[in-house]
Structure 1
Amino acid sequence: MHDWAAHITADNAVGATETTVEALLAAQPPLPSPPSYGKASIGDVLRSAAAVLGLSGAENVLKLPAAPRICVVLVDGLGKSLLKQRSAHAPFLRTVMAADSSGEHPRTLHAAFPSTTATSLSSLGTGEVPGRHGMVGYDVLDPRQDKVVNLLGNWDGGVDPLRWQPCPTIFEKLGTTVPSTTVSLPKFATSAMTRAALRGSEFRGATSTHARVETAVEALAATPTALVYLYWSELDKAGHAHGADSPQWERALEELDAGMKRLAATAPANTLILLTADHGMVDVPRSNRIDFSVFPELVKGVRHTAGEPRMVHLYLEPGATAANRAELMASWLERFGKLAWVITREQAIAAGYFGEVSESVSARIGDVLIVARESVAFYDLRRVRPQAIEVVGQHGSITKAEREVPLLRIPVTAKAPGRKSKRR
């Protein structure tokens, strides 16, 4: 633990009227350790794959085996704990997990922080920590415009993806030395998120999961060496709408399982197939989805709110003092200290949550961060649409269920060296 957390105890404190601000802060349970950046994180997957394929300067930190073709399957929202708990609905993947005893690669990775798609996919695509690539949330403050901007599917016209995220991607580093392909939904072909985090590969769009698997196999078989990134969105979508503890989520897992079995049966025999995820998921009951804007003391002196419901950024008004910030933090701890950690930007950076942080990225991080610990989600319904509070499956925080994701090495069962699919 870092010095600021050294004296934290496990018991929450009483109200702010009966104790000091310092006591409230000190009474928080210890924060989890930071993500394993550079050792076993989502940002190490493509970087290690590129090293295997011969990229100069890249390090195979995950100790992946040699292979001329690599397919990285990114399953949106598939937490390691969820996969284990629901393995009855994934018999093929369950068999893969049970048989995966060889090799030195880790079987569990950490998502980036916050544990959300925009952040983790950017770490995957660049091999960099959030503090360097700058995609530090679902939506965050753009200090230049003094406004909150979305970093996933609804980018602001005033934000250039290549300037916001200037780090070269793994695909750009590979260049023409190794053909690289992104297989995803057609709507993402020219999206700002793709241009920010995944630029540099050939994009092949396919709508259905079946077509995406076929397209990935075709890309793998087209050249003697290849790196293919296959994005799988359906599980996350089902979880948000219905929860991970739902028949809809289980059906989506069954579809994934069938797709991975098909991929293993049709990919070229010398392909290394890796399955991982950008984050996990926890279900939040409706009673614990809270509009914090109705509590005046929780938004006092706050100019902007942003982030995810389980990892809220609070940006203070210009000229705010340390006392103003401490008062805000005490108010949050008094009301929700048993459900969430309340920390400062500096504490999060010192703890290593964002990795090494550049000066420009630091300004995008909230002055105060509300990091959910229990099954709770915080909304500012003054700025988000009312339907947002109906989301069941949530992520963004640093709990084990949200940040631990699998790394599965799926053995290819195809006999031919480069079998192509016949169906479209």
Structure 2
Amino acid sequence: MPDLVNLTLPKLSANHLEGDANLILPSYDGLGLVNLAPSVSRWLGGPVFSEATFSPEIMDKFEKRYKRVVVLVVDALGYNHLKRMIEGEQAPVWKALLSKGNLFPISSVSPSTTATALTTIWTGKDPQRHGIIGYEMWVKELSMVINTILHQPITYLNDVGSLVKSGFDPSAFLGVPPFGEVLEAGRIESHSFLPYTITGSGLSQMHSSKTILHGYVSESDLWANLRDNLNARPANAKYIYAYWSLVDTLMHRYGPDDDRVANQFAMLSWALQTQLFDRLESWAKQDTLFLMTADHGAVPTPQHEEYVLANHPELIEQLVMMPTCENRLSFLYVKPGRETAVREYFDHTWPGKFTLMTRQQAFEINLFGVSPLNPKLESRVGDLIAVSHGNAYLWWANKPNTMLGRHGGLTADEMLIPLFGIDLS
């Protein structure tokens, strides 16, 4: 495999926060996750998006048309982490895979988190357009902070999906058509393979209109179902999406560099080769493009009491409410006239650990996208945004701080994700 990192990484690295090359801004113009859906639609001969496809550096490495495109999203598989595991021979199957395919670094979105990134994958729109901004999001029209994955008020426990009690309709909330609807207009089938526990979730409903959902119980179930789907002779072009969550689950619990994370990815990779690629009918491989990517990466975040906001009552006093969004990209709603006090508190308490920017500054640097601004972001984004450096974070939830790995921020380990593509023909 040619070394393709130099085709995209220099451009990605050059697009960073002013004054800090370690904080990478998302690409929304050809080298980012937002360009995935438009590219898939082009490969399948589907409708043309107003958003760009991947840049020529990527598109030129693949054929112009395919009958089937498979996209495997491995939650929390950052590009840098993947490279470390491959170079450390922790996933041996990748030596053979890389000899046949192409691997590029691309960027996630901001915030680099699952609900935001998957919504981009399933709409082809940047966060500035689709409006899902972070794991915790203030929704003015509901008068509450919501959990954007569990679809419940953020302070509620064990009440998944309870937003419907407030009139929330996940299928109508976005205001932009999900990918399945776009593909159906082009007579292209859309399939989504998800853990069976989330096939009926609000987030899945939000993303999956006109998409056939397939719930799987285990890894073996996923590969068998994917194999059967690909080995069936389709009448039309087909888009197949599969989502794997366990790398993210283990990363949060043990940290991204723990052996459990690498072992899980090694097992996933082995099964991908032996249970899917090696067992496809020869005709099923023809005109089939397989892509693997991620929603975001991750960084280790050791437990430190200095980042727990309960230990900082003076800061809390300056805020209208507790922060929202992400622990590593925190939205601060500041009381009138208190912005200077908040900035001084950060400078004194956490020198060099956070960069603060205003909402307007975030919009000006295209942090959330280049689309016309969704007016709802004016309230969903806080007055100030605290961008984490290194392993810093803010913890405000009313529960123990146990996560040893996090994401959401702009460091390379969070923002850079892989795009691996292999023509199975």
State how far apart, in whole Å, the 1-side matches of 2:17 and 2:40 are: 41
Q: Which digits, 9 at most, give the CA deviation of each residue in 1:281-336, with x for residues without a partner?
A: 1111123772123212322331232122111111234xx2xx42232123223212
Question: Unmatched 5+ residue regions in structure 2?
Answer: 1-15, 153-162
Mapping 1:392-403, distance limit 5 Å: 392-403=404-415
Which secondary structure state, in structure 1, belongs to the residue aligned with residue 307 of structure 2?
strand
- Equivalenced residue count is 377
Q: Over residues 17-76 of structure 1, what are the superposed CA-to-partner deviations in whole Å (9 max), with x where a residue is unaligned?
A: xxxxxxxxxxxx467452111311112112211111111223543524221111000000
* Aligned twin of 1:346: 360
Q: Secondary structure at the match of 1:302?
A: coil
Q: Is the 8 A contact 2:327 2:394 kept in 1?
A: yes
> How far apart are the structure 1 equivalents of 2:269 and 2:363?
38
Q: 1:150 aligns with which of 110, 124, 147?
A: 147
The verdict on how the C-alpha distance between 1:244 and 1:30 changes in structure 2, with shifts beyond 3 A counting, is closer
- Work out which of the residue numbers 41, 49, 61 in structure 1 matches 2:32: 41
Q: 1:127 to 1:234 in 2, by over 3 A?
A: same
State which of 350, 362, 378 in structure 2 corresponds to 1:336: 350
- How far apart in 1 are the matches of 2:306 and 2:27? 30
Which letter does structure 1 place at the counterpart of 2:90?
A: H
CA distance 1:7–1:257, shift in 2 (3 Å):
closer
Q: Deviations over 1:58-107 (max 9, x none)?
A: 35435242211110000001000101111112122243235446xxxx71
- Say which of 307, 310, 313 aligns to 2:331: 313
The residue number in structure 1 matching 2:304 is 287
Q: Flag structure 1 segments of 5+ consecutive residues without an equivalent.
A: 1-5, 10-28, 414-424
Indicate whether 1:298 and 2:297 are aligned.
no
Aligned to 2:177: 168
Residues 110-131 of structure 1 deviation map (CA, whole Å, 9 limit, x = unaligned): 1110010001000111000001
State yes or no: 1:226 paired with 2:238. yes
Q: 2:44 aligns to what?
A: 53
Letter in 1 for 2:385: L
Q: Which amino acid aligns with 1:332?
A: F
- Note if 1:253 corresponds to 2:269: no
Q: Does the CA-based 8 Å contact 1:126-1:198 persist in structure 2? A: no
Which residue of structure 1 aligns with residue 381 of structure 2?
365
The 10-residue stretch of structure 1 (275-284 or 147-156) with the greater mean CA deviation from structure 2? 147-156
Deviation of 1:8 after TM superposition, in Å, equals 6.9
Secondary structure of 2:180's counterpart equals helix
Aligned pairs (5 A) from 1:108-127: 108-127=105-124
TM-score by length of 1: 0.83
Residue 216 of structure 2 is aligned to residue 199 of structure 1: no
Q: Is the 8 A contact 1:96 1:409 kept in 2?
A: no
Q: Which residue of 2 aligns with 1:213?
A: 223
- 2:106 and 2:208 mapped to 1: Cα distance? 20
Matches of 1:288 and 1:209, distance apart in 2: 37
**RMSD over aligned Cα atoms:** 2.2
2:134 partner SS: coil
Report the AA paired with residue 340 of structure 1.
Answer: F
How far apart are residue 375 of structure 1 and its match? 0.8
Structure 2 CA distance, aligned partners of 1:50 and 1:229? 13
Counterpart-to-counterpart distance in 2, 1:95 and 1:371: 39
- Distance (Å, rounded) in 2 between the aligned partners of 1:56 and 1:8: 37
Between the aligned partners of 2:112 and 2:22, the Cα distance in structure 1 is: 15
Kept in 2, the 8 Å contact 1:79–1:403? The answer is: yes
Tell me, in whole angstroms, the C-alpha distance in 2 between the residues paired with 1:53 and 1:7: 36
**Change beyond 3 A, Cα 1:327–1:198:** farther
Give the direction of change, closer, same or farther, for the CA distance of 1:8–1:70 in structure 2 (3 Å limit): closer
Separation in 1 of the partners of 2:306 and 2:205?
A: 33
Determine helix, strand or coil for the equivalent of 1:408. Answer: strand
Going from structure 1 to structure 2, the CA distance change for 1:47 and 1:174 (only over 3 Å counts) comes to: same
Counterpart in 1 of 2:6?
none
Which residue in the other structure is 2:341 paired with? 327
Quote the Cα distance in structure 1 between the aligned partners of 2:224 and 2:30.
Answer: 32
Give TM-score, length-normalised by structure 2: 0.83
Q: Which amino acid aligns with 2:303?
A: R
Q: Distance in 2 between matches of 1:164 and 1:315?
A: 24
* Range with bigger deviation, 121-130 or 256-265: 256-265
CA distance in 2, matches of 1:92, 1:140: 40
Matches within 5 A, 1:4-153: 29=20, 32-58=23-49, 60-61=53-54, 62-63=58-59, 64-65=62-63, 66-87=65-86, 88-100=89-101, 107-153=104-150
User: Could you tell me which amino acid in structure 2 is paired with residue 259 of structure 1?
Assistant: A
CA 1:95/1:329 → structure 2, altered by over 3 Å: closer, same or farther? Answer: farther
Give the SS at the match of 1:112.
coil
Secondary structure at 1:167 match in 2 = coil
The Cα of 1:411 is off from its aligned counterpart by: 4.4
Counterpart amino acid of residue 388 in structure 2: A
Summarize the Cα distance change of 1:175–1:7 in structure 2 as closer, same or farther, 3 Å threshold.
closer
Letter in 2 for 1:90: A
Distance 2:98 2:316 in 1: 46
User: Is the 2:315–2:342 Cα contact (8 Å) retained in structure 1?
Assistant: yes
**CA apart distance, 1:338:** 1.1
Look up the match of 1:379.
Answer: 395
Q: State the SS of the aligned residue for 1:89.
A: coil
